[in-house]
Amino acid sequence: MEPQIIDYYNEMPYGVNVIEKMNEELAQLQEKFDILQKKNIELKDKLEKQNYPIVIYKDEEELNRIKMTAYDEFYFELREVNLEYGIFPHLNFAIENLLHKLLKGEERISNFPYGEAGEIGIFIDHTIKPLSNNGILSYNIIYDIIKNYIDKMFEPEECYGIVKFRCCSCNELVNYLDNGWCYGCRFSDNDSYEEDYDY
């Protein structure tokens, strides 16, 4: 900025005051931005938790036992759906019930089972139309498609992260247990790893 007449009478040039004022405004805006960014992260975390609930199983045996029971009940519920007159919304209700059972009934307040049942239902609708037109649609095909889809969703290593196991030693929630222990507790040092597995 070029000097102005007023600068002759002031200790500091006019342009410096403007820059200081702009820096103060920037600092205030940055503070507001930081607060909003923190709230945004908190809301995203909360939304993710609402979308993907976590269910804690004792071990893989418990998970497989509950899956088997839930799938058997789902198959009988699926057989009640009339394939000739339209499978919706009855199929969605059956899928939602299946998801609630796999979540051990603890997530009834979550929208996850309802939303996932809707998505799976849409997927099934698009998948079975060509099968229906060719006359090869059956309950077993629908059951297998849904079972495979949900098996992937409830696989501990999958990206959904729904299934967790509690370590007997450190009490942490993990995706995998080895005889009730998480990897960190089971193999806390290399010596115990070599003792458990002779080469």
Q: State the average pLDDT over residues 10-34.
A: 79
Distances in Å between the Cα of 52 and the Cα atoms of 69, 178, 188 are: 22, 25, 30
Q: Which amino acid is at 166?
A: R
User: What is the pLDDT confidence band of residue 5, given thresholds at 50, 70 and 90?
Assistant: low
Per the prediction, the chain carries an average pLDDT of 80
User: What is the pLDDT confidence band of residue 191, given thresholds at 50, 70 and 90?
Assistant: very low
pLDDT of residue 197 exceeding 60:
no
What pLDDT, on the 0 to 100 scale, is given for residue 50?
Answer: 53
User: What is the pLDDT confidence band of residue 65, given thresholds at 50, 70 and 90?
Assistant: very high
Choose between 95 and 88: higher pLDDT. Answer: 95
Q: State the average pLDDT over residues 12-24.
A: 73
User: How many Å apart are CA 149 and CA 156, to the nearest integer?
Assistant: 14
Query: Tokens 């919706």, residue?
Result: 88
Question: Mapping DSSP to helix (H, G, I), strand (E, B) and coil, where does residue 131 land?
Answer: helix
User: How many Å apart are CA 31 and CA 27, to the nearest integer?
Assistant: 6
Percentage of the chain surpassing pLDDT 90?
A: 20
Rg of the Cα atoms in the chain = 29
What pLDDT, on the 0 to 100 scale, is given for residue 7?
Answer: 61
pLDDT of residue 188 exceeding 80:
no
Q: What share of the chain is helix, strand, coil (3-state, %, to 5)?
A: 60, 5, 35
Mind listing the pLDDT tens digit for each residue in 115-173?
888 889 888 888 887 777 777 778 898 999 999 999 988 887 765 678 888 888 898 88
Q: State the average pLDDT over residues 39-60.
A: 75
| Domain ranges, ordered by start, for the chain | 5-50, 54-162, 167-199
CA-based nearest residue to 53, from 161, 139, 181, 129: 161
pLDDT of residue 196 exceeding 70:
no
What pLDDT, on the 0 to 100 scale, is given for residue 159?
Answer: 58
Antiparallel, parallel or unpaired: β 173-174 and 55-57: unpaired
The H or E element spanning position 139 is helix 139-153
pLDDT of residue 190 exceeding 60:
no
Distances in Å between the Cα of 138 and the Cα atoms of 87, 142, 149 are: 12, 7, 17
pLDDT of residue 76 exceeding 50:
yes
CA-based nearest residue to 124, from 111, 109, 106, 138: 138
Mind listing the pLDDT tens digit for each residue in 138-148?
889 899 999 99
pLDDT of residue 198 exceeding 50:
no
